Structure 1
Amino acid sequence: MMNDKIVVTHSGNFHADDVFSVAALKSVFPTFTLIRTRDKEVIAKADVVIDVGGEHDAATDRFDHHQRGGAGERDNGVPYSSFGLIWQKYGLAICDDNQELANAIDAGLVSTIDAIDCGHVKGVAEGISLSQTISMFNPTWQEEGDFDAGFNEAVDFAARILARAIAAASGGLNAKAIVAEAIKNAQDPRVIVLEKYTPWKKTVHALSEQALYMVYPSQSGQWMIQTVPVEPGSFEDRKSLPKPWAGLSDAELQAETGIEDAMFCHNGLFIAGTTSFESTMKMAALALQE
């Protein structure tokens, strides 16, 4: 199409920052023509330049970070690569003007890719990273592969990852509001009831020092009681379920608790379930008495 923007990034070997930059632009521009080159004349005429050209100027859509002095860094010291620069300008629009969501994507995805690309790897988890996964789309030295074809495959993959990252972060932000409301409305601040399972740990730890148990329905229709850990990721609970329940199920658990529809209690005493809300609340009452 004659009105398509011309987007240029470098040719040859590619990395996660240029791949995700192009993937992000797919959410900004309905169509564009992508050219992978290091030709200075082509770069100069482009509408958007990514990870090449030695210039960062968001006003003219120049997003390189290889020039002397780089392209700046975040407050936490993580420098910007091309993906971070693209996200600085277009992330808010990609997230439908939700600044909190755009910030969450930067913190959870963009800044990690930037850090690895810039060699700022302190605190980055070991193992195969998303950046390394993207690099695997490059032809190996044993292959007579097409770098451009590999790049296009990587962009399609990255676009799906970015879309799911945005969906996950959006879900987390929405969950925060739901859990906060449940904490506010709890009849007993030690037992928080969710009408639908919602990710709750971060919000509970941020807003409630009293919460001991969470009660919620499972996807299979059962009702669960789950302990609140002393901190997110910990296997130690603020208050475990009663020790006599450990590992029991069905008739044995029903006899121990006196609850007719009790179904199971995990041997680790962090989760148990019944077939009804009322019975699970009875479990909570018994657990609080221990």
Structure 2
Amino acid sequence: MTDKTIATHNGNFHADDVFSIAALKHIFPSFNLIRTRDLELIGEADIVLDVGGEYDPDTGRFDHHQRGGAGQRENGIPYSSFGLIWQKYGLEICQGNQEIADAVDTGLVSTIDAIDCGHVEGVAQGISLSRTISMFNPTWQEDGDFDSCFDEAVAFASRILTRFIASAAGGINAKDIVAKAIDNAEDPRVIILEQYTPWKTTVLALAPKALFMVYPSQSGKWIVQAVPVELGSFEDRKSLPKPWAGLSGEELKDVTGLDDVMFCHNGLFIAGAESFASTMKMAEMALQA
């Protein structure tokens, strides 16, 4: 038995309406979905998104195509239906954690909103998640059913949304661990993590002197990694020694004098050894290089 009727437009679909339905699946275990532009059916629905010409969260109306739109964020990115749904239900979807809800909005929701509303300044070029969703629509050469294709796109988007939430939660929960490691560092230039946790955002914010991170890999080996100058940058605050570039095995052992070193990336941003002691020696060498 369905508890609610949710309406969106029929025909060609986009990331905003697809992700809106994916988000609502987290709130309502079951519902009756209708894809239509029939105003009578739309008027009878409990929740209407991306169609209907009205934004009123109190009455379950989440369109943004009406004159004047449906508002925008402080950074100027307008809300599409997904952003409006996220404003209403995002905190509940994230189990009351506002920091996680905000992180998902920043990393996923606002980008989809920006593309849908044509506010693409600062949005990365190339294949986007929005374009990927659009590719679920049948092409002009196919006889596919739009509604079944929409269901496939929603299933895909649901998985993406779940992973975005998990990733945001992981990064936020790691902050305290990384901050403690920064406080406990004997040398502020080398931060040691007892287990791998996402560290870049916290280190860049709290450790301006940090040059290298040392942490265990999932295989039990140890890694030394250079700290980038900023998130997403391929430039590091300090690179590993140039003579190590691209070496592994015996060649790297000969250059470093360490018996259990394994590799150094040609980009000089990451290297590894079997033991913590050797990895720390590699960090020391890198500091002196």
TM-score by length of 2: 0.93
Q: CA deviation at 1:162?
A: 0.8
> 1:179 & 1:266 partners in 2: Cα distance?
24
Q: CA deviation at 1:18?
A: 1.0
Q: How many residues align?
A: 289
Look up the match of 2:24.
Answer: 25
Q: CA deviation at 1:110?
A: 0.9
CA RMSD of aligned residues (A): 1.7
Q: CA deviation at 1:219?
A: 1.7
Give the 5 Å matches for 1:143-182: 143-182=142-181
Q: CA deviation at 1:274?
A: 1.6
> 2:14 & 2:242 partners in 1: Cα distance?
52
The structure-2 alpha-carbon separation of the partners of 1:250 and 1:147, relative to structure 1 and needing over 3 Å to count, comes to: closer
Give the 5 Å matches for 1:41-190: 41-190=40-189
SS class of match (1:215): strand
Q: CA-to-partner distance for each residue in 1:217-244, whole Å, 9 max, x for gaps?
A: 1122211111222333333332233344
Amino acid of the residue matched to residue 27 of structure 2? V
> After alignment, is 5-14 or 221-230 more displaced?
221-230
Q: CA deviation at 1:97?
A: 0.7
Unaligned runs of 5+ in 2: none
Look up the match of 2:258.
Answer: 259
The structure-2 alpha-carbon separation of the partners of 1:233 and 1:109, relative to structure 1 and needing over 3 Å to count, comes to: closer
Is 2:206 the counterpart of 1:207?
A: yes
The structure-2 alpha-carbon separation of the partners of 1:99 and 1:244, relative to structure 1 and needing over 3 Å to count, comes to: same
Q: CA deviation at 1:255?
A: 3.9
Q: CA deviation at 1:284?
A: 2.1
Q: CA-to-partner distance for each residue in 1:235-281, whole Å, 9 max, x for gaps?
A: 33322333443444334433443323223333433222221112211
Unaligned runs of 5+ in 1: none
> After alignment, is 91-100 or 267-276 more displaced?
267-276
Q: CA deviation at 1:186?
A: 0.9
> 2:253 & 2:127 partners in 1: Cα distance?
46
Is 2:222 the counterpart of 1:223?
A: yes
Among all aligned residue pairs of Structure 1 and Structure 2, give the percentage whose two residues are the same amino acid: 74
Amino acid of the residue matched to residue 11 of structure 1? N
The structure-2 alpha-carbon separation of the partners of 1:248 and 1:9, relative to structure 1 and needing over 3 Å to count, comes to: closer
Runs of 4+ in 1 over 4 A off after TM superposition: none
> 1:243 & 1:139 partners in 2: Cα distance?
51
TM-score by length of 1: 0.93
Q: CA deviation at 1:206?
A: 1.0
Look up the match of 2:283.
Answer: 284
> 1:234 & 1:19 partners in 2: Cα distance?
32
